[in-house]
Structure 1
Amino acid sequence: MRDERKKIMVSFLLGMVTALMLGFAFVYGIRGAGVLSAGKINYYKDLDAQYGKYYKMQKSIRDKSLYSIDKKKRDRYLSQAVIQSLPDPYAAYYNKEDYEKLERRYSESYSGIGISVEEKKGKLLIAHVIKDGPAEQGGLRKGDRILSVDGKKVHSVDDASDRIGGEAGTDVVLKLKRGGQDVTVTLTRQEVEEDSVDSKFLKAENGKKLGYIRIRHFREGTSEELKEAEERLMDGRVTGVVIDVRDNPGGIKDEGVKCADLLLPSGKILIEKNNQGKKKVARADGQCADFEYVVLVNGNTASAAEIFAGAVQVNRGGKLIGEKTYGKGVIQSVEKLEDGSAFKFTTEEYFLPDGTPINKKGIQPDIRVASGKALTRGIQMLSGK
């Protein structure tokens, strides 16, 4: 019933706009003012043929109904209904507040408690706790299951992230499941700065000195962080590097491309195709990493992380080790509206450098091992075993 109401309201709005345009067209066009061409008038006639009856319904309600339409509710339903009419699983409408949260998620700092969230087997788990953040200080641990935020159940990673984030200085209450026990924690949000790239030195059994780089997600500045991590490890004279994009959900496409460019010689990184079939190719500039490396992947490696891993594999920069990736091979655009709200929708599909599609298919690794054993296998491979 609610969906039908939303569809009707969408049509009402279109019909109302159409009628206004038609009135303008006939008043100025037919009277010879020369404002609109005959082609434009035919265009508005066509709109009226499609949506005019809904305007008439709207007019009758306005003139005769005992009840008035709630304009704020109408606008919210209309915006959501337009998005829901798309067969696009990634399309979404954000009101002003939600869009501000979305922007913070991909910025270098944000207001929150300092955790990242992942979904495993239908459960929402804490995937990472930022050092010295409110979550760590409050005793939250990797693997804690999130049951609710501020008394409300959460249903997805995005839902949990949006509810946990908020204005610095405000409190948030998390109900967790840990070791079979329910735990309730109240934390105060604060400005959190987290590097999207971590690095450290590893020592192999044969005495070789290796490096490890973890890319948690691709946001503004990730490629610069990766470059700095590479330089730090090379200054330490490592002989090889394990690059880990397991559980990396993606993020900003261009950052994924830039990170691949840091590693690869001249060649294609990515092929994009829009709804008109027009293709765009991203290429590496030829200045590549001067060390041996492998890339770890799993079923939660998605989107921009798959762009990165796929480019490495096809260009034979390094072996992929782990499990088949998620398979999100489409790109979304976000358009901001005048009132501060925004909407996201799929605008392009991307392909590996050799033209292979990955959407709903994923990327098969060169060496298949369970995700939990991928790091050990990567170290062995770089150690010559």
Structure 2
Amino acid sequence: MSWKNWGTRVALLAMLATAPVTSAMAAEEQNVKTLVEVFTQIVDSHYSQPDEDKILAGAIRGMLETLGDPHTNYMTPKEYTDFVGGINQSYAGIGVSLQHAEDGSLLVSNAHAGSPAAEAGLQKGDRIVQVDDLIVTGDNRDTAVTRMRGPADSQVTVQVVRGGERLTRTLTRKEIHLPTVVSHRMENGIGYIGIYSFGEGTSYEVKKELTKLEQAGVKGLIVDVRGNGGGYVVSALAIADLFLSEGILLYAHDENGEKMALEADADASNLPLTVLVDGSSASASEILAGAFQKAGRAKLVGEQTYGKGTMQSPSELPNGGYLKVSVDRWEFRDGTNNDQVGLTPDVRLSRPEAVLNAAEQLLLPDRRQLLLFDRQTGAAMVNGYELTDAPALVRENGRLYLPLRYTMESLGAQVNWLSGTGEVAFELDGRSVRLHAGSGSLSVDGRPVTAEQPVLSVDGSTYLSADAVQAITGLPVLVTDKHVSVESN
């Protein structure tokens, strides 16, 4: 079945779901009467004179809790309006785009022009570490994002870390209206399309920006769905179909539970493609990224995705609220599902500022990588891109040492710590590297590196000597009074 026909069918079923379910009420008349009787007695008889709307909402949420499904939920009319507004990038908040930082905080990737964040001086590279009284961690980042939104003209206080300085800013929220898609042509001839959310018109925006980039002669394309929590499934399928000319995009199920293969149409762009993902890439983002990865159309770069493999349909209730119910658990073309697991990137990197460069390297494999440390300011750049939070270089016994993970991830290597062994393994430019942080041993392609003390541990962090970095990259590390530069083939 074409995904377009399925999308029309899903829309019709969603509309039918808003009709009164009289047959179900008749079949479960006794249970319904019991529920109404409990509601009535509580509202009429309890000494506290409880609010009817709160009792109703509590009853609904109590029923939903028995499902053990966090994505099936009840929303008040305002909550539903906010939900739809968020999907379409229209909401009241502070106006920032965010990514996951390695330390568990939220990294500002953009403070949108004219937004409260921009007016308060928030900048790209700032790390949001606290929202009001909530200290941001890797486990509550989604809650922190929600707290930054709220009624227009209300205030929220955020604490950010910039360099080594901690700043506190109180911002007044206002209505934010942003596009769901941004794009530009990068200097190296690669195109970039960032998708913030899968709104009603997102697939049309992507198609328009793709046409512009193809007319500009780009050699490849990076699609960025980091921080994108999803939206309309049909929108994700339409975008996948822009790049896949055949095969199955997704398996869905009809009302009888029968599996349906949703297939791509014939016409598609043949641009080489990579996709950027992180822990907030969820739902429709995972459908898009998974469709590409399972078809071998694109490699994923970044972090393990969120892991939401179910589809929801909202229906309006008589009181004006909405019930959002999980109506399907989809499958990718290989029969797998990502629910509570997520998608594993082909190149897994923990530092968000290294991800874009790694994706470019996949599209331009013959390009040399240049990492530059500024010894005077402490800043770092890779191929002209400014990096954040560069660790200080270390000098020990007359030798210069560079931070292992920061240096190698910036050059595009996936650095893996082997559990329980104290060893680190990665590949760079086809060279296989292994080192032991405790003993300080280092080998490249199985051959020991004979440089004196190639590995150094400082306060729990691992550093490589300039000679060791040179042995790994095959190119000299150039050191001047102003800069340290590292190249790889």
Same fold (TM over 0.5): yes
Deviation at 1:340, TM superposition (A): 2.4
Q: Say whether 1:341 aligns with 2:324.
A: no
Q: Secondary structure at the match of 1:263?
A: coil
| 1:130 counterpart (112, 120, 123) | 112
Q: CA 1:102–1:299 in structure 2 vs 1: closer, same or farther (change >3 Å)?
A: closer
CA deviation string 1:65-99 (max 9, x = no partner): 76655433322322322222321122322222222
Amino acid at match of 2:362: M
Aligned residue runs from structure 1 range 281-296, under 5 A? 281-296=261-276
* Cα distance in 2, alignment partners of residues 291 and 277 from structure 1: 36
Equivalences for residues 53-72 of structure 1 within 5 A: 55=37, 68-72=49-53
**SS of corresponding position for 2:207:** helix
Mean CA deviation greater in 280-289 or 104-113? 104-113
Match of 2:332 in 1: 352
Partner of 1:185: 169
Aligned pair 1:263/2:243, yes or no?
yes
Cα 1:108–1:156 shift into 2, 3 Å: same
Q: Per-residue deviation at 1:262?
A: 0.9
- Say if 1:274 and 1:129 are closer, same or farther in 2 by CA, change over 3 A: farther
Indicate how the Cα distance of structure 1 residues 299 and 257 shifts in structure 2: closer, same or farther if over 3 A, else same.
same
Shift of 1:265: 0.3
Structure-1 separation of matches of 2:27 and 2:91: 50
Query: In the TM superposition, what are the counterparts of 1:112-131 in structure 2 within 5 Å?
Result: 112-117=93-98, 123=105, 126=108, 128-131=110-113
TM value normalised by structure 2: 0.60
Instruction: Quickly say closer, same or farther: Cα 1:95–1:60, change in 2 above 3 A.
Output: closer
Q: Do structure 1's residue 165 and structure 2's residue 153 form an aligned pair?
A: no
**Could you say which residue in structure 2 is the equivalent of 1:309?**
289
Give the alignment partner of residue 376 of structure 1, picking from 346, 357, 360: 357
In 2: Cα distance, 1:61 partner to 1:323 partner: 49
| Aligned position for 1:299 | 279
**One-letter code aligned to 1:96:** P
The 1:382/1:313 distance shift into structure 2, 3 A limit, reads same
**Higher deviation after alignment, 359-368 or 280-289:** 359-368
- Residues 349 and 355 in structure 2, CA contact (< 8 A), matched pair in contact too: yes
| Deviation of the 1:62 alpha carbon | 5.3
Structure 1 residues 352 and 139: CA distance shift in structure 2, 3 A: same
Q: Secondary structure at the match of 1:72?
A: helix
Q: Any conservation in 1 of the 2:134–2:144 contact (CA below 8 Å)? A: no
1:148 pairs, out of 131, 138, 146, with: 131
Give the alignment partner of residue 196 of structure 1, picking from 177, 180, 186. 180
Q: Of residues 88, 94, 101 in structure 1, which corresponds to 2:75?
A: 94
Aligned-pair CA distance for 1:46: 7.4
Give the AA of the match of 2:121. Answer: G
The answer as to whether partners of 1:265 and 1:286 remain within 8 angstroms in 2 is yes
Q: TM-score, normalised by structure 1?
A: 0.74
* Greater helix fraction, Structure 1 or Structure 2: 1
> Partner letter of residue 92 of structure 1?
N
Worse overlay, 338-347 or 272-281? 272-281
Greater Cα shift, 317-326 or 258-267: 317-326
Distance in 1, matches of 2:150 and 2:203, equals 27
Relative to structure 1, is the Cα distance of residues 371 and 216 closer, same or farther in structure 2, using a 3 angstrom cutoff?
farther
Equivalent-residue separation in structure 1 for 2:110 and 2:122 (angstroms): 10
**Do 2:250 and 2:332's aligned partners in 1 also have CA atoms closer than 8 Å?**
yes
Is the Cα–Cα contact under 8 Å of residues 98 and 162 in structure 1 kept in the other structure?
Answer: no
Aligned equivalent of 1:239:
219
Per the TM alignment, residue 324 of structure 1 is displaced from its structure 2 partner at its CA by 3.4
Residue identity in the other structure for 2:149: G
Structure 1: 5+ residue stretches without partners: 1-36
Sequence identity percentage: 31
Amino acid at match of 1:107: N
CA distance in 2, matches of 1:376, 1:118: 16
> Equivalents in 1 of 2:290, 2:64: separation in Å?
30
The corresponding residue for 1:321 is 301
CA distance 1:354–1:189, change in 2 (3 Å)? same
Residues 127 and 77 (structure 1), Cα distance of their counterparts in 2 relative to 1, 3 Å cut? farther
Question: What SS does the corresponding residue of 1:294 show, helix, strand or coil?
Answer: strand
Contact 2:228 2:282 in 1 (8 A): yes
Counterpart Cα distance in 2 of 1:60 and 1:358: 42
Q: Which residue of 1 aligns with 2:342?
A: 362
- Answer yes or no: is the 8 Å Cα contact 2:88–2:180 preserved in 1: no
The CA distance in 2 between the partners of 1:261 and 1:42, in whole Å, is 43
Deviations 1:97-156 (A, max 9, x none): 22221121112533333124556665455454222322111112344325334x788895
- Answer whether contact 1:167 1:189 (CA < 8 A) is retained: yes
Supply the RMSD in Å over aligned alpha carbons. Answer: 3.6
Deviations, residues 151-172 of structure 1 (Å, cap 9, x unaligned): 788895554455443454x232
How far apart, in 2, do the equivalents of 1:190 and 1:41 lie? 47
CA distance in structure 1 between the partners assigned to 2:26 and 2:176 by the alignment? 55
Q: How far off is 1:293 after superposition?
A: 1.8
- How far apart are 1:347 and its partner, in Å? 1.7
CA contact (8 A) 1:108 1:221 kept: no
Judge conservation of contact 1:83–1:91 (CA < 8 Å) in 2.
Answer: yes
Tell me whether 324-333 or 359-368 shows the greater mean CA deviation: 359-368
How far 1:55 moved relative to its partner? 4.0
Unaligned runs of 5+ in 2: 1-22, 367-489
Quick check: 1:105 aligned with 2:89?
no
Contact 1:275–1:348 at 8 Å: present in 2 too?
no
Larger deviation, residues 96-105 vs 158-167: 158-167
Matches within 5 A, 1:220-231: 220-231=200-211
Tell me if the contact between 1:245 and 1:296 (Cα under 8 Å) persists in the aligned partners: yes
The separation in 1 between residues aligned to 2:294 and 2:149, in whole angstroms, is 38
Query: What secondary structure, in the 3-state scheme, does the structure 2 residue paired with 1:74 have?
Result: helix
